[in-house]
Amino acid sequence: MGDNALMSDVLELVDVSVVRDGRALVDQVSWSVAEGERWVILGPNGAGKTTLLNVASSYLFPTTGTVSILGDKLGGVDVFDLRPRIGMAGAAMAEKMPRRQTVLETVLTAAYGMTATWHEGYEQVDEDRARAFLDRLGMNDFLDRKFGTLSEGERKRTLIARAMMSDPELLLLDEPAAGLDLGGREDLVRRLGRLARDPIAPSMIMVTHHVEEIAPGFTHVLMIRQGKVVAAGPLELELTSRNLSLCFGLPLVVERRGDRYTAAGLPLS
């Protein structure tokens, strides 16, 4: 347990900045995520979303400020103990995956904290888990396909299954729906919604550019622009036209229909 961390805090950032070449990519961000919350991070290209996820996953130390992850203060804990407790799926991960490895192997290797296969020593129980996660993501028919031959959507679903493999307490998803067609997006939103509403699923943080990709079951939103927090809090309070317009820097109208959101620019008059 970190000194300042509350028992229920999955993530706590206090005055966190990441400075590169004299520029703050993340600028004095204070943010906490409590157990059971599912957060969406919204913001334009270059706002610092991926940088923030890299801090949250313990792969990037901030220049200033303090970070507690799953009750441990960054700097006071061995990150190699912390990292298996965090699942991460994003574009950077996709690039690290050997293209000739099968889908099943790609997920299975996560159990051993590796990106490449090691043919000895897989337990049947691990393989069963890998198959179950792939099934949950609709990847049953692709188990023996080479990762490199998958479509964008199939790759994303494989990497989410992979991120689940270590049974993480915190799941970080960087633009999981980017590059998917409308059907693929809706399918993923439905699956993420199921996960988000599952009380025993890990705490979740998902980065996206589009409010249409927010799955039912997500509870909170963090909006950032140029590294700074524009708004943070429960979706129903903070996901407003005003906040979204400030965040993306143009007049936008956000509408809620049932448990989904849409946003568009103001019609030209």
Site of interaction with ligand ATP (CB under 6 A)? 20-21, 25, 43, 45-51
Candidate segments 24-32, 43-51, 231-239, 240-248, binder of Mg ion by CB under 5 A: 43-51
Task: Compare residues 103 and 204 and give the one whose CB is closer to Mg ion.
Answer: 204
Task: Compare residues 50 and 245 and give the one whose CB is closer to ligand ATP.
Answer: 50
Closest contact distance (angstroms) between CB of 25 and ligand ATP is: 4
| Collapsed DSSP state (helix, strand, coil) of residue 152 | helix
Q: Provide the mask over 47-86, with x wherever binding to Mg ion is found by CB under 5 A and - wherever it is not.
A: --xx------------------------------------
Closest contact distance (angstroms) between CB of 174 and Mg ion is: 6
Nearest to 134 by CA among 155, 164, 158: 158
Closest contact distance (angstroms) between CB of 218 and ligand ATP is: 18
Q: Which does 51 bind (CB under 5 to 8 A by kind): Mg ion, ligand ATP, none?
A: ligand ATP
Distance CA 105, CA 148 (A): 12
- The residues pairing with 69 across neighbouring beta strands, listed in sequence order, are 11, 72
Closest contact distance (angstroms) between CB of 126 and Mg ion is: 31
Lookup: tokens for 255: 């509408």
Nearest to 170 by CA among 261, 18, 68, 45: 68
For 130-186, the DSSP string reads HHHHHHHTT-GGGTTSBGGGS-HHHHHHHHHHHHHTT--SEEEEESTTTT--HHHHH
Closest contact distance (angstroms) between CB of 248 and Mg ion is: 15
Task: Compare residues 51 and 158 and give the one whose CB is closer to ligand ATP.
Answer: 51
Q: Return phi, psi of residue 2, to 5°.
A: -70, 155
User: Which residues make up the interface to Mg ion (CB under 5 A)?
Assistant: 49-50
